[in-house]
Amino acid sequence: MKIVGMMPVYKEVDWIEYAVEGIIDFVDELVIAEGYQGPAWHFGSCRSKDGTIDIINKLARKYDKLTLTQCQPRGHVLRGKAATHNHVLKISKLIKEAQWYMICDADEFYSDRQKEILRRDIKNIDADLNSVNARMFFYNFRYFITQPLARFIRLTDSMFFKPGQFPYYANGKPYTKNDESNVLLSDDPMFHYSFVKRSRQEVKRRIMEYCATQRQRYVFDWIEQVYLRWSEENAEQIYALNNKKFNGSGIFFDGGGHDQKLQEYLGTHPAILDHHPFRNLDDVRTVEKLSKKPMNYVQARHHAAFKMVRFAQSIKGILRS
């Protein structure tokens, strides 16, 4: 049984080396697609300029099974994601002989025991699209929520992706997930350090979300009023604010409200992260202070362009009616 791992990466200098070293023994091939998947004008460039590419090139010289390619930017982030996955399906060395396509983020990790369990369990899976339960950490290596993430996709002839990370069969029928009650690693979630990022890095990631979700203002409200303000002391106040403003009582907001509260994790983390620079930080938000409000990181040209898009969409709607 062979697995092709696909890792999309953009400005992950703090995590990329740990991520590759942590998954390279599990997959039979690892394709890293580097770059921003929306248009270059969002950030002035679609390439990582923080040292991420240099680290990947060093690792590619170390591991023959690692392939570096570029993401495939499009006019919309979700279209870029689909184009990137379709590009990886074409260039992968093992795509014709592998059974599984595994999505691996640059900030998620599996313990050795979890990798053994996954190797055992995926041999007996009937579903073609499978989720893995994840601990998603906030601010440090202590506080987390759990959430299933689609990660294992069975490779079928001429499969392809549509906007986002949604796989389709050759006949155009979408893959469907396995039952949520049968999520992989349900009792021992993998480790996803999704919010253990430098503040500016997190804001940039949210700007990407802003650009990929019809420019919904809640993205920035969430950063300013929930993400940046949370602490152990004012947690309940933040939960109440989230409930009132976003219709969700928990810390994680995903567009409709997600009512989980942060739990404290007292277990062990993957050994690969024992010496990570953020490993023993009380709060990663102290590493780098924001010099201005999150909303101000979006340049005026974004708003002008978005208004033009909205105007064009409204005219198109009028013509259709």
86-106: pLDDT as tens digits:
999 999 999 999 999 999 999
Show the beta-strand stretches assigned E in 77-142: 100-103, 108-109, 129-138
State the Cα–Cα distance between residues 122 and 114, nearest whole angstrom.
12
**Residue 291: Cβ within 10 Å count:** 9
| Residue 142 burial (CB count, 10 A) | 16
How far apart CA 178 and CA 221 sit, in angstroms, is 33
pLDDT of residue 298: 60
Sign of the alpha-carbon torsion through 139, 145, 146, 149: negative
Predicted pLDDT at 91: 96
pLDDT for residue 310? 63
Q: Spell out the domain ranges in the chain.
A: 3-194, 197-310
Q: Which residues of the chain have pLDDT under 70?
A: 180-181, 213-217, 246-259, 294-295, 297-310, 312-313, 321
**C-alpha to C-alpha distance for 136 and 133, rounded to whole angstroms:** 10
Cα 71 to chain centroid distance, Å, stands at: 14
| The pLDDT of residue 255 | 43
Q: Give the containing element (helix H, strand E) for 245.
A: helix 235-246
- The whole-number pLDDT of residue 157 equals 95
Contact 5, 188 (CB under 8 A): no
CATH of 3-194 given 3.90.1150, 2.60.40, 1.20.120, 3.90.550: 3.90.550
pLDDT at position 98:
96
Supply the pTM of this predicted model.
Answer: 0.88
Of residues 215, 210, 212, the one with CA closest to residue 165: 212
Determine the pLDDT at residue 314. 74
The Cα 10–Cα 47 span in angstroms is: 7
Query: Letter for the amino acid at 140?
Result: N
What is residue 67's predicted lDDT score, i.e. its pLDDT?
96
Burial degree of 163 (CB within 10 A; 0-12, 13-18, 19+):
middle
Q: Which helix (H) or strand (E) holds 150?
A: strand 143-154
- Look at residues 87, 80, 106, 83 and name the one whose alpha carbon lies nearest to residue 9: 106
